[in-house]
A and B are shown apart, each in its own frame.
Chain A
Amino acid sequence: MESFAAEASFMLNAAGNAFVIMMEPTRLAFLSMGAFLGLILGILPGVGGLAGTAMLLPFTFSMDPYTAFAFLLGLGSTVATGDPIPAVLFGVPGGAASAATVLDGYPMAKRGEAGRALSAAYMSSLMGGVFGAALLAVSIPILRPAMLYIGSPELLAFAVFGISMVAVLSGRAPLRGLAAACFGIMMAMVGADPQSGTLRWTFDTAYLWEGLPLLPIVLGLFALPEMCDLMIARTAIAAGSNKMDIYKGQWQGVKDCFQHWWLIVRCSWIGGGIGSIPGISASVVDWLAYGHALRTEKGAAQTFGKGDVRGVIASESSNNAKEGGALVPTIAFGVPGSASMAILLGAFMMHGLVPGPDMLNKHLDITYSMVWSVALANLLGAGLCYAFSPQFARVALLRYTLICPAVLGIIYIGAFESSRNWGDLYTLLFFGLLGWIMKQFKWPRPPLILGLVLGDLIERYMFISVERYGIDWMTRPLVVILFALAIIGLVRPLLEDYRGQGGLRAILGSFGRARFEWGQLFTLFYLAVFSAMVIMSRGWQFNAKIVPLVVGGVALIAVVLSLLNQTFRKPAAAPASGTEISAADNAALLTGEKLPVNTGKIHMDIESDTAHLPLSTIIARAAMFFGYLLAFMGSTYLVGLIPTLFIFVVAFMRIEARERWTLVLSYAGFMVVFVTLVFDRIMKVPWPPSLLGEWMPALKVIPSL
């Protein structure tokens, strides 16, 4: 008891000292500067904390360690505060960890509640960030022993538990959700297999050797489809609402957060906890928190994905908390908890600090100064957001010709930032098209991301566990608990569905004559892709092909069942008397979504609001949209990315809406100056080489040529 008291007073002392140190004006100034930069980087989709931290690193050489970490963490902590802004306003996730925010934030903006959604996002970010830091602060003494308890089998179990969320994130389309998750896992396995070095599905390209990068996929799946639908609908984002009271909305958002404080606490613990496990990627914490809220919040199954503020709160409180969590393995073991933490580790080295026991002992004040930095930066970030928010929220009222050019341009650059390769742009385009079709035909997209991130971990840690422990690892207590939770999470929704549909006989009874729908072609496409991937993998070494074969097999079964279901299921009976058939339900019937509505579940994704348009118009405008994207890439290939940006902005605004020339030219000019300044001058992005630049090297004075 005495030693505990001594320990506690030692900690309090260090925490107090650290606070005094942090209050020094220069440090606060650098912290604020970092927080401000982080917000801006967060707002730009695809450009996240990683690029920013790398950029700031050289400036920290001459600082003392407290100031250096305040600067770097100031940036890292607020990126997640800036992320929801494009997610809410445009449906474009600002980073991989705020994709779940799109699901409810964007529908809220469409309803004219952008102000409320943003305000809830900031407040929950702030509270999540502070709770995350608090969790870190109190758990410091037990960090190392706790971490040493978590081995590869436990990591595997965590990943399996995470992937069991697929069941709840699939909504009322479990088979499609399962197939999408399997597709995500297969995509995660593209590249050199760590076990045997087999190059899986790389088609002899060096780009695919290290696997597909996450960010172009997230931007493709979630951002491009929203932009495409915006162009198809030809409206402003908040077209449906004619008046918007921003200040009232803001106040409402704050109230929402305090009303749901317990949800915030739980989600920030999820964020901080998952973020602190070394080896588990934190880029799915938003989905795990979202899935948790969906499971536990009252009535969530009916309203999530349709603009429920609790969805925004769950996602945003978790992703701000993860930064504090990610510090844990970095400080305690030198194992970076996230990509930007890897750079922070570089900063440790530069300041002569060695991660490990010393940081929790001799340098405890530095550790606490980091905790304070994270907490203070979250406060500053949320404050700045509130100050500028009214301006942001109005963006939702702008017409699409003003939104699309800038957002698409930044998405392209953001995607290119991930590995700075042409391949990123192809990946973006491919998943953009896939995402749009999935959205149209109501295939849930969240399971794909979950599979993509966790699939790699599951394969990795399964091999390590089996190789090292045989089957003994399965009896470890934490593994047993997590596996049990995963099974419950998987089986319960299935049983509910089964009962909801009236048992086996009722399900069989609902089958009828074969019918054809367009949606079946897409299912056939998946069938073909999975078959091709499985066939290609047959010749590989055992270690390289076992997981792809199993996952591919499960996927094929799911796709075939889904196809049978689409083909032979009678159209759903009218819902129980007294309920109206909504437009969305009608659209669902048209597109082949035929699970009876009385399971009480919803489609777990944003729905297209273009159903009122004739099919031919939708197809023509979508073709136009992807035509623009192709033209963008073609032009980048010819004359470089920045000149292309100018041409694209002018062409888009003139062709789509004959906007005034003065507006068009000043818009295009501003974009070019902004991108040149930020990406060429400050971040020194290596642009994709262009043909014109090859022919006439003298022209290379123009950036990106």
Chain B
Amino acid sequence: MNLHVPMRLTRLVFPALAACIAMGQLASPAAAQSAASFYKGKTVTVWVGNSAGGGYDLYARAFARHWGKHLAGNPEFIVKNRPGAGSMLLTNELYNILPKDGTAVGVIGRGMPLEKLLGNDLAKFDSSKFTWIGSANNEVSVCVSWAKTGVARFQDLKTRGMIVGGTGAGADTDSYPKAMNKILGTKLKLVTGYPGGNEIMLAMERGEVEGRCGYSWSSAVSTHADWLRDKRMNVLVQIAMQKHRDLPNVPLITELADNAEDKQVLEFLFAGQVWGRPFLAPPGVPADRAQALQDSFLAVTRDPAFIAEITKQKLEINPVPGPELARLLAVQHKAPPIVLKRAKEATD
């Protein structure tokens, strides 16, 4: 296999939106009319399942500042944080408590939609019944190594192995290396308990850990561009459904599977990357309003003012429409029992 690390870093360019725009359908004039009369003078609350200042929160606040312009009836948008249990608290409330009339929308952790399938009893929702509005970004996660360690290619993870840092059981930084060890036979040694991702990067710099798996590429580019430029950090593998345009030469995790079943399990586990920043509303939002929310969500992502703001914050925008999220989730729900079983084992 030709596995080498990208030597060149393109400037952060936002991926083309064309495909997604084509998917967004135009609402019928009558439907738009009734949504407009509903939303006129109302306030829409964007609930964030994580604390203020984090990635999910930054996306939510950026959307909230521009959404009112694009939604029929021009309602006011406000943001409220509802952190707890890795956003499961909010997901439960969106499903069970918050208003179903289209005035409550939320953004939750990308792992949440699969929690119930993976057997978490605290998940009090059926993720296929939510009103999916869209995802702000199709995320690409990577595994990186500190160059000084000599770990330079994916293959080294199978022979030499690597010490990776984690933020705690259930987090991507922990479940990704575990899944890779079980399914791809890598020898990753997990040292977990770091308070956050930034702390892992600091531990890597001071030599306490050798690398990190489950590291959002956009965050790598925005916070450690110098390390990538000076080749102090190697990118070993990308964890996503499709390769990132910046990383044509880094292998995609699903390509590394030995057989079809392994590949299916990997796809099941990492599908969440597609809905990297998922926006949703409670089940049962009237169809015209759901449509208006989905359309206006995509319209925001094309707004030059929004794009300028998001560029300044170095956030990536690569939107995925709501109906596409719903379709992907339906596929997940139909996964063969053996895939589900192995996925559960791999993350346990």
Residues of chain A whose beta carbon lies under 8 Å from any beta carbon of chain B: 50, 54, 57-58, 61, 147-149, 151-152, 192-198, 204, 206-207, 209-210, 278-279, 333-336, 339, 342-343, 345-346, 349-352, 354-358, 419-421, 459-461, 463-464, 467-468, 684, 686, 689, 697
Contact = CB atoms under 8 A, between A and B. Distances in A.
Contact of B169 (A152, A192, A420): A192
Contacts of B86: 209-210
A333 B193 contact: no
B327 to A, nearest CB: 29
B61 A58 contact: yes
Contacts of A468: 163, 191, 208-209
Nearest to A344: B53
12 contacts: A58-B65, A194-B193, A206-B89, A209-B84, A209-B86, A210-B85, A279-B199, A333-B201, A334-B223, A336-B198, A350-B313, A684-B78
A468 B195 CA distance: 16
Contacts of A61: 309, 312
A355 B223 CA distance: 7
Interface string B199-220: 1011101101100000000000
A634 to B, nearest CB: 20
B69 interface: no
Contact of A206 (B81, B122, B170): B122
Given A206-B84, A333-B198, A468-B191, A151 B61 contact: no
A524 B282 CA distance: 48
B208 A420 contact: no
B199 A349 contact: no
B296 to A, nearest CB: 20
A209 B163 contact: no
Contacts of A464: 191-194, 208
Contact of A354 (B80, B201, B223): B223
B97 interface: yes
A686 B80 contact: yes
B20 interface: no
A461 B52 contact: no
Given A192-B168, A686-B45, 14 more contacts: A148-B205, A151-B208, A197-B168, A204-B121, A206-B85, A209-B86, A333-B198, A335-B196, A335-B199, A356-B226, A358-B226, A419-B84, A420-B81, A463-B193
Contacts of A354: 222-223, 225-226
A333 B200 CA distance: 11
Nearest to B101: A697
Interface string B221-264: 01111100000000000000000000000000000000000000
Nearest to A205: B122
Contact of A420 (B79, B82, B312): B82
A342 B97 CA distance: 30
Contacts of B4: none
Interface-centre pick from A61, A194, A342, A420 (highest chain B CB count, 10 A): A194
Interface in B41-95: 45, 47, 51-54, 57-58, 61, 65, 78-86, 88-89, 92
Does more than half of chain B's interface fall in helix, strand or loop, or is it mixed?
A: mixed
A689 B97 contact: yes
Contact of A207 (B84, B167, B205): B84
Contacts of A195: 168-169, 192-193
B53 A204 contact: no
A470 B86 CA distance: 31
Contacts of A196: 169
Interface in B300-348: 309, 312-314
Interface in B154-209: 163, 167-170, 191-196, 198-199, 201-203, 205-206, 208-209
Contacts of A459: 193
Interface residues of B, number: 55
A209 B54 CA distance: 19
A334 B84 contact: no
A364 to B, nearest CB: 16
A278 B198 CA distance: 10
B320 to A, nearest CB: 23
Nearest to B97: A689
Contacts of A350: 312-313
A461 B223 CA distance: 25
B309 to A, nearest CB: 7
Given A333-B198, A352-B314, A468-B208, A194 B167 contact: yes
A421 B89 contact: yes
A58 B54 CA distance: 14
B58 A346 contact: yes
A189 to B, nearest CB: 13
A460 B54 CA distance: 22
Contacts of B97: 689
A342 B209 CA distance: 23
Contacts of B225: 354
B167 A335 contact: no
Contacts of A342: 51, 53-54
A468 B198 CA distance: 18
Contacts of A335: 196, 198-199, 202
A692 to B, nearest CB: 15
Given A58-B65, A468-B208, A193 B169 contact: yes
B209 to A, nearest CB: 7
B85 A209 contact: yes
A343 B52 contact: yes
B195 to A, nearest CB: 6
Contact of A345 (B53, B79, B82, B312): B53
Nearest to B65: A58
A210 B202 contact: no
B60 to A, nearest CB: 12
Nearest to A191: B85
Contact of A197 (B54, B88, B170, B209): B170
B40 to A, nearest CB: 16
Contacts of B313: 349-350
Contacts of B314: 349, 352
A339 B50 CA distance: 13
Given A148-B206, A197-B168, A206-B84, A54 B53 contact: yes
B122 A194 contact: no
B105 to A, nearest CB: 14
A209 B88 contact: yes
A336 B202 CA distance: 12
A570 B294 CA distance: 76
A148 B201 CA distance: 12
Contact of A278 (B53, B122, B192, B199): B199
Nearest to A466: B191
Contacts of B169: 192-198
B265 to A, nearest CB: 20
Contacts of B167: 194
B233 to A, nearest CB: 13
Interface-centre pick from B52, B81, B194 (highest chain A CB count, 10 A): B52
A151 B202 CA distance: 9
A192 B120 CA distance: 13
